[in-house]
Amino acid sequence: MRKDEVLPAGWVAYFPESAYYGPQVKRENLTMLVLQFGGPSGFGYDSAEEIRKGTDDLLREKGGTLEGGIYKRVDENGVHHNQDASEAVHEYIRGEKMVYPPARYQDIVVMDPEAFTWVKDRQNAGVAHKWLGCFTERLVKIGFMQLDPGAAVLLGSEPSAEIAFVKEGMVTVDHEKHGPLTALGTKAAEAPRELRAEEATELFYIKLPTF
């Protein structure tokens, strides 16, 4: 995002792989849903657990310090090295030099869901979609689903992982009820799972890259 740009409440931002952004300022009372995943290059994404372990192992094996997002160390020849901390940890985890893929987008994509309209699903009665965008050749899909009471959708019918977040309402999955602020997901190899609305329900939906 550009300097001093504000993401309004309820808006959605897609941060493309290799597109520059930051720094970000987050207020203490902010409630924000964040999903981080590997980009269309297939380079992957290190989990929080991998990053914590990689950081500890890097500092223990090679020494140095982390200061203000910079990894600083002095080698055996007395030469000082400064490197982006995330980059240094990632290279340590992977055991190879980090090569950044070319940016497909110049900037992040900021979307106002209120400016989009609901479109009825012709195959599923009582279901409507509000698609915000489909990105890159790997078909990352972002949008919302609206379900009338008793209506159902299948999660997991795409050839990649899918995630549905219950914004409001309630759904039943495998005889278990899930209310607001619940995240539901499927992997590419899993069989589809039915999400049936117990009441008027709205879901935030993301399909991850297909490889």
> What pLDDT, on a 0 to 100 scale, did the predictor assign at position 1?
56
Task: Return d(Cα 170, Cα 147) in angstroms, integer.
Answer: 10
pLDDT for residue 6: 84
Q: Which domains does the chain have, with CATH numbers?
A: 1-43+104-211 (2.60.120.10), 48-94 (no CATH)
How do the pLDDT tens digits run along the chain, 211 residues long? 556 678 899 999 999 999 988 778 888 888 999 999 999 999 888 889 999 999 999 999 999 999 989 999 998 899 999 999 999 999 999 999 988 899 999 999 999 999 999 999 999 999 999 999 999 999 999 999 999 999 999 999 999 999 999 999 999 999 999 999 999 999 998 999 999 999 999 999 999 999 9
Among residues 103, 118, 98, 95, the alpha carbon closest in space to that of 40 is found at 103
State the pTM of this model: 0.86
- Can you say whether residue 59 is alpha, beta or left, with left for phi > 0 and alpha for psi between -120 and 50 degrees? alpha
State the distance between the two ends of the chain, measured CA to CA, in whole angstroms. Answer: 28
Burial class (CB in 10 A: 0-12, 13-18, 19+), 164: buried
Question: What local confidence, expressed as pLDDT, does residue 100 receive?
Answer: 87
What pLDDT is stored for residue 24 in this prediction? Answer: 82
Distances (CA, A) of 120 to 105, 147, 164, 192: 30, 10, 18, 21
